[in-house]
Amino acid sequence: MNMQVAKNTVVTIDYHVTDTDNEVVDEGREPIVYLHGGYDDIFPKIEEALQGKAVGESVQIKLQPDEAFGDYDAELVQIEPRKDFPKELQVGMQFEGGPEDGSDEDFVIYRVTEIADDKVVLDGNHPLAGMALIFTCTVTNVRAASAEEVEHGHVHGPDEDCEA
Protein backbone atom coordinates (compact mmCIF):
# COMPACT_ATOMS: atom_id res chain seq x y z
CA MET A 1 0.00 0.00 0.00
CA ASN A 2 1.47 3.30 -1.09
CA MET A 3 0.98 5.85 1.67
CA GLN A 4 0.03 9.39 0.72
CA VAL A 5 1.20 12.66 2.19
CA ALA A 6 -1.39 13.69 4.78
CA LYS A 7 -1.61 15.38 8.19
CA ASN A 8 0.67 13.70 10.74
CA THR A 9 2.83 11.87 8.24
CA VAL A 10 6.61 12.19 8.15
CA VAL A 11 7.59 13.07 4.59
CA THR A 12 11.02 12.77 2.98
CA ILE A 13 11.67 14.76 -0.19
CA ASP A 14 14.61 15.16 -2.51
CA TYR A 15 14.65 18.73 -3.70
CA HIS A 16 16.52 21.54 -5.38
CA VAL A 17 15.85 25.25 -5.54
CA THR A 18 16.56 27.68 -8.37
CA ASP A 19 15.84 31.35 -8.83
CA THR A 20 13.62 32.58 -11.65
CA ASP A 21 16.66 32.71 -13.99
CA ASN A 22 17.19 28.98 -13.38
CA GLU A 23 20.35 29.60 -11.31
CA VAL A 24 20.70 26.95 -8.60
CA VAL A 25 20.47 28.46 -5.11
CA ASP A 26 20.22 25.19 -3.15
CA GLU A 27 21.31 21.86 -4.62
CA GLY A 28 19.48 19.95 -1.92
CA ARG A 29 22.39 17.64 -1.07
CA GLU A 30 20.53 16.33 1.98
CA PRO A 31 16.87 15.35 1.69
CA ILE A 32 14.31 17.29 3.72
CA VAL A 33 12.42 15.25 6.31
CA TYR A 34 9.49 17.06 7.87
CA LEU A 35 6.25 16.52 9.78
CA HIS A 36 3.30 17.28 7.47
CA GLY A 37 0.19 19.04 8.69
CA GLY A 38 0.72 22.68 9.55
CA TYR A 39 3.64 22.36 11.99
CA ASP A 40 5.68 25.09 10.25
CA ASP A 41 8.41 22.57 9.40
CA ILE A 42 8.33 23.66 5.75
CA PHE A 43 6.87 26.60 3.81
CA PRO A 44 3.04 26.31 3.75
CA LYS A 45 2.79 26.60 -0.04
CA ILE A 46 5.12 23.58 -0.44
CA GLU A 47 3.15 21.61 2.14
CA GLU A 48 -0.08 22.44 0.28
CA ALA A 49 1.39 21.20 -3.03
CA LEU A 50 2.56 17.93 -1.46
CA GLN A 51 -0.78 17.11 0.19
CA GLY A 52 -2.09 13.79 -1.20
CA LYS A 53 1.10 12.98 -3.15
CA ALA A 54 2.66 9.51 -3.02
CA VAL A 55 6.24 8.26 -3.17
CA GLY A 56 7.75 8.98 -6.59
CA GLU A 57 5.51 11.96 -7.32
CA SER A 58 7.08 15.35 -7.98
CA VAL A 59 5.92 18.93 -7.66
CA GLN A 60 7.34 22.25 -8.72
CA ILE A 61 6.30 25.33 -6.77
CA LYS A 62 7.09 28.97 -7.42
CA LEU A 63 7.48 30.83 -4.14
CA GLN A 64 7.23 34.62 -4.03
CA PRO A 65 9.52 36.29 -1.46
CA ASP A 66 6.69 36.61 1.09
CA GLU A 67 6.03 32.84 0.78
CA ALA A 68 9.69 31.97 1.33
CA PHE A 69 12.37 34.00 3.13
CA GLY A 70 10.55 37.33 3.18
CA ASP A 71 11.12 40.62 1.45
CA TYR A 72 14.51 42.28 1.67
CA ASP A 73 14.54 44.66 4.65
CA ALA A 74 17.01 47.54 4.29
CA GLU A 75 16.68 48.24 8.03
CA LEU A 76 18.49 44.98 8.74
CA VAL A 77 21.66 46.36 7.16
CA GLN A 78 24.01 47.98 9.64
CA ILE A 79 27.38 49.68 9.43
CA GLU A 80 29.59 49.13 12.45
CA PRO A 81 33.10 50.29 13.41
CA ARG A 82 35.80 47.84 12.30
CA LYS A 83 37.42 47.97 15.75
CA ASP A 84 34.40 46.18 17.27
CA PHE A 85 35.23 42.95 15.41
CA PRO A 86 37.89 40.25 15.68
CA LYS A 87 41.09 40.75 13.71
CA GLU A 88 40.41 37.76 11.44
CA LEU A 89 37.31 39.11 9.74
CA GLN A 90 36.10 37.96 6.33
CA VAL A 91 33.12 38.63 4.12
CA GLY A 92 30.60 35.87 4.70
CA MET A 93 31.31 35.48 8.42
CA GLN A 94 28.24 35.48 10.63
CA PHE A 95 27.54 37.14 13.96
CA GLU A 96 24.52 36.99 16.20
CA GLY A 97 23.11 40.38 17.08
CA GLY A 98 20.35 41.55 19.33
CA PRO A 99 18.10 44.56 18.91
CA GLU A 100 19.85 47.82 19.75
CA ASP A 101 17.10 48.94 22.12
CA GLY A 102 17.85 46.00 24.43
CA SER A 103 14.36 44.54 24.06
CA ASP A 104 13.79 40.79 24.14
CA GLU A 105 13.12 40.53 20.42
CA ASP A 106 14.63 37.68 18.45
CA PHE A 107 18.32 37.68 17.86
CA VAL A 108 19.29 38.12 14.24
CA ILE A 109 22.13 36.41 12.40
CA TYR A 110 24.12 39.11 10.60
CA ARG A 111 26.38 38.30 7.65
CA VAL A 112 29.43 40.40 6.90
CA THR A 113 28.87 41.65 3.34
CA GLU A 114 31.61 44.28 3.07
CA ILE A 115 34.71 45.38 4.93
CA ALA A 116 36.01 48.89 4.27
CA ASP A 117 38.94 50.65 5.97
CA ASP A 118 37.33 51.25 9.34
CA LYS A 119 33.76 50.07 8.74
CA VAL A 120 32.02 46.72 8.50
CA VAL A 121 28.70 46.25 6.69
CA LEU A 122 26.42 43.66 8.29
CA ASP A 123 23.26 42.29 6.69
CA GLY A 124 20.62 40.58 8.84
CA ASN A 125 18.50 39.49 5.89
CA HIS A 126 18.39 35.82 4.92
CA PRO A 127 20.67 35.40 1.86
CA LEU A 128 17.57 34.48 -0.19
CA ALA A 129 15.37 37.32 1.10
CA GLY A 130 13.62 39.24 -1.64
CA MET A 131 14.01 36.42 -4.18
CA ALA A 132 11.29 34.47 -5.94
CA LEU A 133 12.29 30.80 -5.86
CA ILE A 134 11.38 27.70 -7.83
CA PHE A 135 11.22 24.71 -5.46
CA THR A 136 11.24 21.32 -7.20
CA CYS A 137 10.90 18.16 -5.17
CA THR A 138 10.11 14.46 -5.34
CA VAL A 139 8.54 12.48 -2.50
CA THR A 140 10.91 9.63 -1.57
CA ASN A 141 9.27 8.36 1.62
CA VAL A 142 6.05 8.77 3.63
CA ARG A 143 5.42 7.18 7.01
CA ALA A 144 2.99 7.70 9.85
CA ALA A 145 4.36 10.02 12.53
CA SER A 146 4.76 8.65 16.05
CA ALA A 147 2.49 10.02 18.76
CA GLU A 148 5.52 11.73 20.30
CA GLU A 149 6.45 13.43 17.00
CA VAL A 150 2.90 14.73 16.62
CA GLU A 151 2.87 15.93 20.24
CA HIS A 152 6.21 17.73 19.81
CA GLY A 153 5.35 19.04 16.33
CA HIS A 154 8.55 17.86 14.63
CA VAL A 155 10.37 14.76 13.37
CA HIS A 156 12.65 12.78 15.65
CA GLY A 157 15.78 11.09 14.36
CA PRO A 158 16.37 7.40 15.11
CA ASP A 159 18.60 8.05 18.15
CA GLU A 160 17.26 11.43 19.16
CA ASP A 161 16.29 12.31 22.70
CA CYS A 162 13.98 15.24 22.40
CA GLU A 163 13.77 17.88 25.09
CA ALA A 164 10.78 19.57 23.38
Domain extent at residue 101: 74-123
Same domain, 57 and 30: yes
Low-confidence ranges of the chain (pLDDT < 50): none
- 56/136 same-domain check: yes
Answering whether pTM is above 0.85, one says no
3-state secondary structure of 76: helix
One domain, residues 116 and 80? yes
**HEC profile of 3-42:** CECCCCEEEEEEEEEEECCCCEEECCCCCEEEEECCCCCC
Q: Are residues 118 and 136 in the same domain?
A: no
- Does residue 158 belong to any structural domain of this protein? no
Q: In whole angstroms, how far apart are CA 66 and each of 47, 50, 130, 137, 141? A: 15, 19, 8, 20, 28
Same domain, 114 and 138: no
Q: In DSSP terms, which residues pair with 94 in a beta bridge?
A: 111
For residue 26, being part of any structural domain is answered with yes
Number of independent structural domains in the chain: 2
- The answer to whether residue 160 sits within a structural domain is no
CA 138 – CA 163 distance, rounded (Å): 31
Counting Cα atoms < 13 Å in the Cβ hemisphere of 59 gives: 18
Output DSSP code: residue 132. -
Classify residue 161: in a domain, yes or no.
no
Q: Report the C-alpha gap between 13 and 58 in whole angstroms.
A: 9
Please tell me whether residues 78 and 64 are part of one structural domain. Answer: no
- Does any domain span residue 40? yes
Residue 138 shares a structural domain with residue 110: no
pLDDT on residue 23: 94
Q: Is residue 4 part of a domain?
A: no
Domain-embedded: residue 85 = yes
**C-alpha triplet 143, 147, 151: angle, nearest 5°:** 115
Ramachandran quadrant class, 90 (left: phi over 0; alpha: psi -120 to 50; beta: rest)? beta
In a domain, 164, yes or no: no
Whole-number pLDDT of residue 105: 61
Residues 111 and 138 placed together within one structural domain of the fold:
no
Task: Kindly state the DSSP code that residue 71 receives in the 8-state scheme.
Answer: -
Q: What is the CATH number of the domain that holds 98?
A: 2.40.10.330
**pLDDT in the model for residue 147:** 93
pLDDT for 107 = 79
Separation CA 11–CA 5 (nearest Å):
7
Domain match, 51 and 93 both: no
